[in-house]
Every structure is written in structure tokens, then in C-alpha cells.
Chains A and B, each alone.
Chain A
């Protein structure tokens, strides 16, 4: 008889990150602004919603990068940009060093083949009228020149890889439970042998007992194929379990980014500290001093000037927060934070220095 603890010991968790691994996906100053209806009779300035406002993320082979934040912080828009479902307003996406916006049609096709997605809700992301066979085969039919027989064999192969039986290819999605459906979603993403998977809240729609199954499946697949993951999640504990790197987003920009361990054990940004303080404890004896943020997340249509977090910040240090947008500074090894509490911005501001170049660029 194996105990549960022994069973856990038998399996490996996420693999340590190889910092020299190839950079698969990189964004530089990635932004997406939506122009809203408005203005006077269609004239004049239309309000713009800055969903994503300048994001720099690097994803290496075998690495999981987690994007965390509350609803409306732009994490899902970032995912859409990376999947090529939205066109960025500014900034670039590099795939293995090549700029996506400058790619040829063929290269873009190759990009889409290599960047696959797993969606949040396995009830709405699988077509109820298609058999599993057709669902998983669809990307293969579109992208590859495989024959029918080859496709069938590949579908069986990936289904077994995600823990389903090959014969289940003939069933329809409604015949599966939530966890199994999410496995189908993973199989579909895996079919083309991608290098990157964008995981948009992959377990939040699932039951607790099933979540661990899917998370562990993703961990095992990563090890097997050296996959790079960009995972979007709002559950901090899930991010800590899965991600080598964590990026905390607020109102379209990254407030803190770096190795997951220092971010969770020593959060530097006041917003990250508040998020962690509000997260649920894993034991009744754990009591966190909760940092209560006043008000609600402001509208991204007219975001606050300076640091976007300043109206709610419990430790705001002065006018510098309202006027200068902080850039990301490396406060400790592999741990960047965008906050005036760190660095010398306050002294320079108080000394009457003009707005630094970086901040001007952000305003433009």
C-alpha cells in the first residue's frame, strides 16, 4: 500500500529552469489600445482604452511564465496578442528572434503552428457537433500535409499522451467530464508539436480534485517536450506551483516581474503585497495582515497619470508617483519592480529634475 505522500514523492514537479535555454518568445513594449466610440458626432478625440500598455516578457524553452492580475488588467488581451488574434498597437513580438509583424506569410503560418492555446472553459472551447477525432485533427488538416491515415495515428498518439484512450476519439465532447474535456483541449494544442503554449486560466473552470490532474499533466508534458508556457491565472498559489517566472499585471502594465521564488517570498511592489495578503491561506493557523486597497481598479480608458497604481497605493511617497511613471528596475537578482519606492526617482523629482526620458516616451 502506497500512501498519498509516498505517491507524491514518486513524481517530479516542475523542472529547474535553464537560464541559457533558447529564448522562444519575447515581447518588447507590446501594447494594445482600443479606440472606443465617442467624441462629438463622430468627430473630435475618441477615448482610447489602454488594455495592454507596454509589456516586456521573455519566455525560454522549458520555462513557464505566469501572468497574474485581477480582471481587467490586460492579461487576456496579452494572450490574444501573442496568439495573433489581435494586432498590437505598438511594440513587437519576437519568435526565436524574428519579429512577428515583419514575418512573411509562410513564417507567420509557422509561428501560428508553434504557438498554440489552451482555453479556460472546456465547455465552450470544444465544438459540441464535432467528434474528438475531428477536433484534434483540425489543426493537422489545416497546417500540415499529412495523409488521413497519418492524421488518425497522430490523433491517437496525442490522446494517449494526455491520458485519454484512442477509442475515445469517436465520442462527442458532451460524453466527457470537465477534466477530460480539458485534456482534449490540451491534446488539440499539442497535436502540431508546438514550442509554446498559451494557457489561459487552464484550470479555473474545473473542480478542485481535477485541477491537480491537469496541472500535473502540463508539468509532465513540459518536461517531455521542453515546452515553453505562458500561463494566465488569477490564483496565486497555482502560479507559484507552475511558474518559473511570474509577472504581476495591473491596468495594462507589469508592476513586478522576476523569478517566482523571490516574488512570492519577498514581494516588492505594494500591489503584489496587497494581492498576496488577500489570497486565501492554506492552513487555518496562517494569518496574514491584510492590506486593504481603497476603491476599485480605475478605468483603463482614462488611467491615472504617473504610476497607474498611485490612487490606491497605501505607501504612496508623494507627487512623484502622480507625475512620473516608474520603469522596471532590477532590485535584486532576477527581480524587477516598477515602483518609486525603489531607486532614486523621489530625490531626483524633489530636486526639480525634468521628467525622465522614459516617462516621456510612455506618455506619448
Chain B
């Protein structure tokens, strides 16, 4: 009755009998070698009455074909603004992408004109948002809403459009797609609605799918089904997924690689097992220790005291220092340089350099201090201020 082998395994921590390729429980790994999206030093700032909010401050990451990258961090860490910057959907004003590159399939999307960008949104990059009730329009039926993206990007009409809509709905395993597509969003359950949102975002066969906390509004069993669906779609189409979440459980289940964000920067990045087995940034370590486990009783959770700092007034040094158990003087003076722990595993923390600033490469150290805004950014922000006045 009870799956006791699983229980034994959890208790003993012995996973040696498992084949490596099938370790995430979703069949063989789908990761391929070619990088389809790369962010280089992306900076997105907001001009507010409090000052410049550096929501994204030099973020670099990449996604390969068939790979799932988890972007983890608490609210306000900049993970969603990064995603909006990739889509160039940051509301402007007050937001400005002031630096860096977003290379999608070999092309920097920040250089594209608005009409060229419109062609990419929804076709090459799809997006699934958190709340399906607000992502769907209540006064249009499902056929209409799924059809919209297909009509615009693929120029289909009539029966071929309907066929394509049905195909997309079947791809997200909506039963009786032909009749269901006449329904309105309120006639569907939460899980089904989120599947419709999924159908819209994959209808034009994107190469990158950005999923921004798509399952937070769903129940446990529905969530499990949805995550399984995303993995199946990935196996079928080889889409690269950026999974934005604050839930380490989702990361453990879904992701190949992880980027942990704090205060607008990536503080640690690595393969999912590197992060779970050997979290090297104190923030990652603290986050992992603050999540209760289902498999065993946790004696006591670690609580990260304090709150994330306001992004318009970041002190020099590491923004996590005020909440960090390990912080020393150097942490409050200079932002740490990136340290390579292992292949593919880097973290930015002075602890890894024994709190010794002289061990850091001076050039890298200077680059890490984002106290001065780049010249181009300065100009753009001043322009924005002039408009605001």
C-alpha cells in the first residue's frame, strides 16, 4: 500500500541505485548544448521620487535548448523585472533598460525596433504569468484568445486557424478541446485556465518560455500535473524554460540549473545539485535552511532576520550583509567579486575569499561595485528626469 522504498531512501539518503539520466523523475535530460538566450550584464533601473531603483543591476545568465533555468529570490529581488526586460515589457517611464545585452537566438533584442520586437513577443518567446484569471480576458472565449497569437504571428485563417487552436489546446492536455474552446474563462477551473495560458504561450512554438510563478495559485495536486505538463512540452519541443519562483521545491523538481537573485543581482549560480548539496552563498544557504521538509521532520527552521534592503538606497558592499550570519567589515565596504567554486558553480561572497579584499582581482572588484552608473545610463536617466519635470 505504502511506497516504503521511497521512505527508506529518504531516511537513509541512499540514491545510488538510481540511473543518473533519470534523476529528475521526468525521463532523460533534455538539455542540449546550444545557448538560445543569453543575458549579459543587464541593467534595468526605475526612476522614482525616492531615487533610482536598481531593480536589475548587472544580471548575466543563459539558457540552453531544452534546459530549465530556475531563477530564485524573494519579492523585489528583480527576478520578474529581468523577465520583463527580456520581453522589453518594462513600463517606461519609469523603467529603463540602461545597459547590457539580451541575445536571443544570436540577436540582441535590445537593438530591435518596436515593431520587430512585437514579432518576437509571443512567437519566439512565450510567457506564462502567475494568475491565470488576470492573464485571460473574461469577455472573450478560449478560441478567441488562443487564436489571437496564432493569427498575428502565423497569419492563419478559417479552418487552418481552428485546427491550430485545437492542436495547441491538445498540446496542453485539455480534454474535449473542440467543445472546450467555446468556453469562457469563468467556466474553467483554475488548473484548466492556467493550461489555456500555457496553450497561448506555446501556440507559436517559442524557443524560450518564461514561466513567472505559474503554479502559486494552484492546489498541490493540480500544481504537480501542471509541472509535469511543462516538462512534457519541453521534451516534445526542446523549448528552453526560465522558471521564476521562490519555491525551492519547484526548483528541485523542475530545474537543471539555478540562479539565486538578491537585491537586483545574481549572488549564486550553479547546477541544481550543486546548489542543494553545497549552497555557497550565505543567502542560498539561509533560504534552503528556512524551508520545511516534507520527507523528514525539521527540528528548527532557520529564520533570516530583517528584510531585503530598499533598492533605491543600497549601501556600499554586499546588500545581504545586514542579514548575514557571516558578515565581516569587508562585506560592508565592497561588493564581493564572483568566485568560481566548481565548474558552472559561482557565488559572490567574501567568505569564499576568506574575507580578504586583497585576494580579489582589482579590475573585477572595480566592476562589481555598481556605485557609478554607466555614462549611457546616466544620460538616459537624466533625460527621463527632464521629461518628468
- A residues at B contact (CB < 8 Å): 1-5, 7-9, 11-13, 70-71, 177, 179-180, 207-213, 215-216, 219, 234-238, 240-242, 260-261, 264-268, 273-290, 292-293, 296, 315, 341
Residue of B3, B219, B225, B251 contacting most chain A CB atoms (<10 Å): B219
> How far is A289 from B9 in the complex, measured between Cα atoms in Å?
13
Contacts of B287 in A (CB 8 A): 208-209
Shortest beta-carbon distance from B44 to chain A in Å: 21
Contacts of A216 in B (CB 8 A): 300-301, 303
> How far is A292 from B173 in the complex, measured between Cα atoms in Å?
14
Q: Are A211 and B290 in contact (CB under 8 A)?
A: yes
Q: Are B302 and A8 in contact (CB under 8 A)?
A: yes
Residue of B7, B9, B24, B292 contacting most chain A CB atoms (<10 Å): B292
Contacts of B223 in A (CB 8 A): 278, 280
B residues 267-282 touching A (CB-CB < 8 Å) = 272-273, 276, 282
Q: Are B221 and A286 in contact (CB under 8 A)?
A: no
Shortest beta-carbon distance from A215 to chain B in Å: 6
Residue of A210, A234, A280, A287 contacting most chain B CB atoms (<10 Å): A280
- Choose from B250, B253, B295, B300 the contact partner of A12 (Cβ within 8 Å): B300
Judged by DSSP, the binding face of B is loop
Shortest beta-carbon distance from B93 to chain A in Å: 24
Known contacts A177-B307, A208-B287, A287-B18; A1/B249 CB under 8 A:
no
14 pairs, A vs B, C-beta closer than 8 Å: A9-B300, A207-B74, A215-B303, A236-B294, A260-B297, A261-B297, A267-B2, A276-B294, A279-B224, A282-B252, A282-B294, A285-B15, A286-B295, A288-B25
Q: Are B325 and A2 in contact (CB under 8 A)?
A: yes
Known contacts A4-B285, A4-B302, A209-B74; A71/B295 CB under 8 A:
no
Contacts of A207 in B (CB 8 A): 74-75, 246
Contacts of B300 in A (CB 8 A): 8-9, 11-13, 216, 219
> How far is A9 from B300 in the complex, measured between Cα atoms in Å?
8
What band does the interface of chain B fall in when counting residues whose beta carbon is under 8 Å from A?
35 or more
Contacts of B10 in A (CB 8 A): 286
- B residues at A contact (CB < 8 Å): 1-3, 6-7, 9-10, 15, 18, 23-25, 74-75, 189, 191, 219-225, 228, 246-253, 255, 272-273, 276, 282, 285-287, 289-295, 297-305, 307-308, 325-326
Contacts of B248 in A (CB 8 A): 208, 282
Contacts of B25 in A (CB 8 A): 287-288
| 10 nearest A-B residue pairs (beta carbon) | A280-B249, A212-B290, A241-B292, A278-B224, A287-B25, A212-B301, A237-B292, A282-B293, A237-B294, A213-B303
> How far is A281 from B248 in the complex, measured between Cα atoms in Å?
9
If A241-B292, A279-B220 are given as contacts, then 17 extra A-B residue pairs at C-beta distance below 8 Å, sorted by A number, are A3-B325, A4-B285, A8-B289, A8-B299, A70-B222, A213-B303, A234-B220, A237-B249, A264-B294, A266-B2, A266-B7, A267-B2, A268-B1, A279-B224, A281-B253, A284-B276, A286-B295
